[in-house]
């Protein structure tokens, strides 16, 4: 049996990270502020959904924390919680959709599960650019790699491979973006994993904010807006078709507004859209349709 981590401390730490991320995003946006929506779950627990929308550099951001408990839903009982009578789950999720097509979308989540006789951590972070800037991908992966390198329980190469495999639109034959890390069901040495997860949470802003600062003032026009919205459509497709977290939340009667807070405010679907050969748009498409790269 995995020795559980104090669940109150986990939830409190996630809420502290929520505050830090919201302040960082408000500062770079410079105008809009997060609204707060506190909700309760029938059966036990609830969460706090914080949403920023506006006309500034950040078109939409969501930083959400939840802590729920009770009788395990059937979907959870079919996995590592098989046979459990009670469960507890807490997590922090972050999604940022900038206005500028040259600024990438950012996603991250960290989570903790506990049942009668098991406890484990999961999480990850990935970056979805619409125009490919190698220096942005290298910076993002560099911060993740350095963070993993400080903790023997972390495995950046394996988790990068897992991320590339997970964030893949099989029906399109495309990666969602430049990847990141993805880990789940970490049950051994939970105190060490918890230390790593907190370190990762503390460096989420450092992995993304410098990229956002570099790109938010890049000039763009109507053609770039159209491409941005077409590629955002791919983001929507992944979240609604393949993402296990979205599917789990909906199938277990989670709060729909919070589950779908990750979706962008604007997207479009253009039939058989093909970028001009040799264009920056075609370069992005070549990357997401090729073999995963080592950044």
Catalytic residue IDs: 107
Beta partners for 121?
112, 186
Q: What single string gives the DSSP state of each residue in 40-55?
A: E-TTSEEEEEEEEE-S
∠ Cα 207 210 213 (to 5°) = 140
Q: What are phi and psi of 228, to 5 degrees?
A: -55, -45
DSSP state of 115: E
The answer to whether 215 and 106 have CB atoms below 8 angstroms apart is: no
CA distance 182 to 126: 8
The region that residue 44 occupies, defined by phi over 0 for left and psi between -120 and 50 for alpha, beta otherwise, is left
Among residues 53, 66, 51, the alpha carbon closest in space to that of 15 is found at 66
- Report yes or no: 112 and 119 within 8 Å, Cβ to Cβ: yes
Q: How far apart are CA 288 and CA 178, in angstroms?
A: 8
Q: Are 129 and 177 in contact (CB under 8 A)?
A: yes
Q: b vs e for 24-52, b when ≥16 Cβ sit within 10 Å of the residue's Cβ?
A: bbbebbeebebeeeeeebeeebbbbbbbb
Instruction: Report how far apart, in Å, the C-alpha atoms of 81 and of each of 86, 132, 170 are.
Output: 9, 41, 28
Report the C-alpha gap between 218 and 26 in whole angstroms. Answer: 20
């Amino acid at each position: 049996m995995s020795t559980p981590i104090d669940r109150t401390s986990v939830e409190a730490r996630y809420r502290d990270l929520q505050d830090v991320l919201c302040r960082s995003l408000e500062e770079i946006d410079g105008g809009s502020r997060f609204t707060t929506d506190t909700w309760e779950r029938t059966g036990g627990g609830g969460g706090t959904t914080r949403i920023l929308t506006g006309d500034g550099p950040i078109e939409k951001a969501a930083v959400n924390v939840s802590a729920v408990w009770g009788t395990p839903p059937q979907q959870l009982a079919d996995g590592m919680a098989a046979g459990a009578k009670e469960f507890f789950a807490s997590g922090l999720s972050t999604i940022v959709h900038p206005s500028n097509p040259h600024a990438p979308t950012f996603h991250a989540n960290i989570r903790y599960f506990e049942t009668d006789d098991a406890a484990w951590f999961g999480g990850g972070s990935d970056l979805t650019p619409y125009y490919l800037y190698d220096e942005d991908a290298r910076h993002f992966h560099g911060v993740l790699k350095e963070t993993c390198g400080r903790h023997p329980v972390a495995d950046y190469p394996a988790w990068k491979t897992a991320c590339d495999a997970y964030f893949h639109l099989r029906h399109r034959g495309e990666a969602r973006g430049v990847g990141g890390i993805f880990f789940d069901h970490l049950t051994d040495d939970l105190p060490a994993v918890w230390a790593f997860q907190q370190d990762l949470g503390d460096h989420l802003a450092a992995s993304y904010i410098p990229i956002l600062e570099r790109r938010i003032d890049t000039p763009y026009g109507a053609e770039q807006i159209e491409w941005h919205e077409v590629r955002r459509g791919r983001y929507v497709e992944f979240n609604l078709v393949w993402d296990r977290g979205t599917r789990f939340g909906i199938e277990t009667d989670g709060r729909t507004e919070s589950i779908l807070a990750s979706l962008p405010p604007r997207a479009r679907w253009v039939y058989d859209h093909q970028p001009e050969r040799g264009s920056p748009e075609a370069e992005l498409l070549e990357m997401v349709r090729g073999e995963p790269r080592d950044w």
